[in-house]
Each structure stands twice: as structure tokens, then as C-alpha cells.
Amino acid sequence: MEYATAEEKILLRQLRRDSDWMSVHYKELLEQFDGQFIAVKDEKVVVADASHDHMLDRLKTLGFNPALVLVTFLTSRSRVLTPM
């Protein structure tokens, strides 16, 4: 039984390719975009911004569907979660 359509499989492969690219280039991306959200599409950063909302707005303005773009936050700072 198939769970994903042919189109969904293509989209998943594209996201995987972008994820792999980001992993390979992580150090240089971190140096360039530390403290920012980045959106990666077709193995390149298409938008970077410190504000998640602004980054999403810019993606939409450029004609990208944010659901089909790899988005992550890059930081060199250690993060420790503490109970509230």
C-alpha cells in the first residue's frame, strides 16, 4: 500500500536533499547566519532573518510556500531549558 503520492515523494526527496546540503555546509552557514532563521530551497539559502515571522513573510513575498521550504534556526549559543 502506498502512503505518499508521486508528488509527495518528490517533495520529500527535495526536502531531504536540502537537509543533507545544510548538514554538509552547517559550519559555514552558522558563521554567516548565527542567530537567524534560514530558509533553504534547492540547496541554497533563499531567506535569512532574526525574526521567524519576518522570514515567513519574506518567503511568501518571494512566492515560496513556507510548508515546502526547509526552515531552521541557527545559533552558536548553548541552550538550556529550565522548568517554568
| SS3 letters across 39-56 | EECCCCEEEEECCHHHHH
- pLDDT tens, N- to C-terminus, the chain (84 residues): 678 899 989 999 999 999 999 999 999 999 999 999 999 999 999 999 999 999 999 999 999 999 999 999 999 987 655 676
Say how far apart CA 12 and CA 75 lie, in whole Å: 25
**0.95 exceeded by the pTM?**
no
